[in-house]
Chain A
Amino acid sequence: MTSVLPIVRRNALSILAGLLVCGLIVSFVGVAPSTLLSTISSGTVGDQGAVLNVLRWSTPEIIVGLAFAVSQRAGLFNLGINGQLYLGALAAALVGIYAPLPPVIAPVVAIASGMLAGALWAGLAGWLLNRFGVTEVVSTLMLNYVGTLVTTWLIKMYFLQKLGGQASYTIATAPIRPQAALPLFSPASQANAGLLLALGAAGLLWFVTQRSRAGYQLRSVGASTSFAAYDGQDVARTRLAALTASGAIAGLAGAVEVLGVQHNFVAGFAQSLGFDGIIVSIIGGHNPLGIVFSGAFFGALKNVGLQLSLSGNVSSYAVTLLTAVFIFAFSLRIPLRRKAR
């Protein structure tokens, strides 16, 4: 079994450097060091609620990390996780609102629909890559914008929430039926059964990538497309499969956010969550088990960042900045296996 410890040890310096830069930036915009320290402790291990909130944020962070890792295995960059996540979230929300299904069945069907929507959206980028040779780096980035706009437009046109006969001001759907919701661990927090799905997905992906034939094909296409083609493998099919699977996992992240936390679809709810997947995957060494830990680390970071932005004169984009600092710090250390052109 691939051990997680070396990944942590190898990355300790980058993590420390990233935290230091984040601390400097936050103090530069006027947060006192004592406030920062107390927010860090109250945002991570302060009480039971804080721990649960970290778990709440770890859930989507782990899932988007897994989504990126699957495409990375095949040497592809799925930078469209955000858009796939939105479509997955909308599909899951619509099933949750309109399908009269019993408990247990309802969330399963809603999640499956979310994953299908995400897979199709990412599959579009795979098709553009195989059929036309359009690099997925650009097509997935662009499909983010299209995907976000499609969901907003669909809601405004057809699914807008009605409050007392009036259309609501925020662009959001009606709430899902309670039967479709994922159960919460405790009323004190939004941490929910989605965490178990995230852990299950990590275990499954670890098995698939390390122990199965499909995992071998992913890796060989990622290492060298010409070798894989020479080996008689269907490179185009593997690439399409990698992007589709990546999109399905991104859709899962969106479905879990809707069914476990939001309980309806609010336009633009995820901000840049999908992009966190890149850094979570890198810190986790693109290894599903490592990603569980890096996802938890980012869940904690996110919770602290959100508390900071609530507490004072700090933009809600502070979390995006923290993510970026880590992406940049880590890009310097780990060369991804993408062939030079």
Chain B
Amino acid sequence: METAIALILISTLTAATPVVLAAIGGTLTAQVNVFNVGLEGMMLTGAFVGFLVSDKTGQVTLGVLSGGVAGAAISWLLALAVLSLGADEVVAGLGVNLGALGLTAVLATAIYGTQGSVQSAHAGLLTHLPAGAAHLPVVSQVVRGMDWMTVGAAVVIAVAVVVTYRTPVGLRMRSIGSNPDAAAAAGINVPRYRYMAFLVSGVLCGVAGSYLPLSGLSLFTDNMTSGVGYIALAAVLFGDGRPGRAALGAYLYGLTFAVGVALQKVGIAAEVVQMLPWVATIVALAIAVRRRRSTAAAAVGSAV
């Protein structure tokens, strides 16, 4: 029983970590009033570049960092299109997502000479935490199952919360979000903050993507993210600009995923299990958005 709980917790954290990182990234762009649909493409690019660099150098950390840089590059491209060239944010974001899907698959085939998936013998894996707290039964197992990126995700949440609510930068970003024109009139350089938000979200998404091939199997497959970026996008909407809530959404996804894996072991069809997180995300989003709308309506009502 203890082992089962520990396994579910580990599986929750592992599934949630990339979603948490990407959702925090998306939350930053949401704070400056940009709907960043490109999370999925930035993650997939980060996954491929992270895998490629780790495979060629044998350095996992270098792979993760390169994934972040690649994500930032894609993000900059999207920011340029949306912020400076007047592109529609949804259409351009979708272009980035499909482009990343096509480009990573084409490059993987061109570089490794096989279609579908590539296994690496040299890439290595993220380091796990040392076995501490051995006297606590479930906790020790969970800690041993965690790698440093699951901890890193928690640090990123904390930093994002502090920056959002306790720093001038966060205040300015939120003021851009609530009224860009007023923020500009108050002397805030709105485009600069928007570019910055895009770049940071690109780094976070790229790092998040690199977690996928480097956490479990040293494997890259075509379309490896397979929609995880859209789950992160839903978590961004769930959080509505608040990093803590977005992270909560991401961990709820992780929990659904973990429960699904457990259910699959007792013989429930794989497709039904894979469906669970999507359905749960849609339901959670419906509840969150509806409640927000009704509180907003109540606020307007009391003002009148």
Interfacial residues, chain A to chain B (CB-CB below 8 A): 25, 29-30, 77, 79, 128, 131-135, 137-139, 141-146, 149-150, 152-153, 156-157, 272, 275, 278, 282, 313-325, 327-328, 330-332, 334-336, 338, 341
Contact = CB atoms under 8 A, between A and B. Distances in A.
Interface stretch (B151-159, B161-169, B279-287): B279-287
B297 to A, nearest CB: 11
Given A141-B230, A278-B94, A316-B115, A146 B279 contact: yes
B94 A336 contact: no
Among A134, A144, A331, the one with the most B-chain Cβ atoms within 10 Å of its Cβ is A331
Given A321-B102, A321-B103, A323-B98, 16 more contacts: A128-B282, A131-B290, A132-B289, A134-B237, A137-B35, A137-B37, A142-B278, A146-B279, A156-B269, A314-B110, A317-B106, A320-B102, A321-B105, A324-B95, A332-B87, A341-B33
A325 B274 CA distance: 30
A328 B96 CA distance: 7
A332 B82 CA distance: 8
Interface of B: 33, 35, 37, 81, 85-88, 90-92, 94-103, 105-110, 113, 115, 222-223, 226-227, 230, 233-234, 237, 269, 271-272, 274-275, 278-279, 281-282, 285-287, 289-290, 293
A317 B87 contact: no
A237 B88 CA distance: 25
25 contacts: A29-B106, A29-B110, A134-B237, A134-B282, A134-B286, A137-B37, A141-B227, A145-B274, A146-B282, A149-B275, A149-B278, A153-B272, A153-B275, A272-B98, A314-B109, A315-B102, A315-B110, A317-B102, A317-B106, A320-B105, A324-B98, A327-B99, A328-B96, A331-B88, A332-B92
A325 B100 CA distance: 10
Nearest to B98: A324
A150 B81 contact: no
Contacts of B92: 327-328, 331-332
Contact of B99 (A131, A319, A325, A336): A325
B142 to A, nearest CB: 29
Contacts of A322: 102
B95 A315 contact: no
Contacts of A132: 285-287, 289-290
B227 A145 contact: yes
A338 B286 contact: no
* Majority DSSP secondary structure for residues of B touching A: helix
Contacts of A318: 102, 105-106
B87 A321 contact: no
Contacts of A152: 271
B237 A335 contact: no
Contact of B274 (A25, A141, A149, A313): A149
A136 to B, nearest CB: 10
A150 B275 contact: yes
B91 A331 contact: yes
B109 A313 contact: yes
A322 B95 CA distance: 10
B184 to A, nearest CB: 14
Contacts of A131: 286, 290
Given A152-B271, A321-B99, A328-B92, A138 B286 contact: no
Contacts of A341: 33, 35
Contacts of A157: 269
Contacts of B230: 138, 141-142, 145
B195 to A, nearest CB: 17
Nearest to B105: A317
Contacts of A316: 105, 115
A338 B37 CA distance: 15
B180 to A, nearest CB: 9
Contacts of B234: 138, 142
B274 A327 contact: no
Contact of A324 (B102, B223, B279, B287): B102
A330 B290 CA distance: 34
A158 to B, nearest CB: 12
A313 B282 contact: no
B106 A272 contact: no
Contacts of A30: 110
Contacts of A313: 109-110, 113
